[in-house]
Chain A
């Protein structure tokens, strides 16, 4: 029996992007991004264990422009995955399945994750003395 190469559902190219589907795929994307980001955390911890010189170079990379951009994306990915993960846990408990609730919790995740990211950077810059 030969199988025809038919397009498989979901037909992403004909769907208008919606908040629900975008947030859904972002949960996976941020999960994988965080996985890659653990390399930075492991480097930072291992460098601290090796000694001051190694740690200074790790800290210098994190403090560089590329490092700060990576850190910003990583911190947002972390807060997004954390907030949306809590949203998933409520669904697992059978709560929040009305369409209005989907949108309300979805926007809440967007706002709270961005807010926490900004807060983390304000605290971070304050700890560095503004530099």
Chain B
């Protein structure tokens, strides 16, 4: 087997373009979601607790916001992975940072989604 063979098709990691593709899919999803999010959130500047929770409790808002959070934290996880892989060359530090950033994204996303759902229900 030549050295080219393992790089063909899905490549040596057997995942092919999936990581790259999902980064684009989440990016496309985030374009309309973030336009909605920024347009809405700027109007809540300085709003009190009652106003903000009333807004968050609206079904459309809760659903869209959960989608924003899923897409954003997923996109963040993928993006941080690329950045870490590009700049951190020691295998130990790289894998530690990949794990930490991945767990961090999931943790922050879970807290944020739970907060929205707690207010919505």
Band of interface residues on A: 35 or more
B67 to chain A, nearest CB (A): 14
A interface majority secondary structure = helix
Contact between A85 and B27 (Cβ–Cβ < 8 Å)?
yes
Smallest CB gap from A121: residue in B:
B42
Verify if B98 is at the interface (C-beta below 8 Å from A): no
Neighbouring A residues of B115 by C-beta, 8 Å: 42, 45-46, 48-49
| A104 on the B face (CB < 8 A) | no
A10 within 8 A of B: no
* A51 CA / B115 CA spacing, docked (Å): 11
A18-45 interface with B by 8 A CB criterion:
28, 31-32, 34-35, 38-39, 41-42, 45
Contact B42 A124 (CB under 8 A): yes
- In the assembly, what is the distance between CA of A41 and CA of B73, in Å? 12
Q: Check B38–A78 contact: CB distance below 8 A.
A: yes
Identity of the chain B residue whose Cβ is nearest the Cβ of A122 in the assembled complex: B42
Q: Is the CB of A120 within 8 A of B108?
A: no
Contacts of A2 in B (CB 8 A): none
Size of the B side of the interface (Cβ < 8 Å), in residues, is: 35
Which B residues touch A32, using CB under 8 A? 80, 83
Q: Do A92 and B24 contact each other (CB < 8 Å), given the known contacts A63-B46, A86-B31, A124-B45? A: yes
Q: In this assembly, does B114 line the interface, its C-beta being within 8 Å of a C-beta of chain A?
A: yes
Query: Cβ of A45 and Cβ of B116 under 8 Å apart?
Result: yes
Q: How far is the CA of A39 from the CA of B55 in the complex (A)?
A: 21
A106 to B43, CA, bound (A): 29
A128 on interface, CB distance cutoff 8 Å: yes
Q: How far is the CB of A28 from chain B (nearest CB, A)?
A: 6
* Residues of chain B having any CB pair with chain A under 8 Å: 24, 27-28, 30-31, 34-35, 38, 42-50, 52-53, 56, 72-73, 76, 79-80, 83, 105, 108, 111-112, 114-116, 118-119
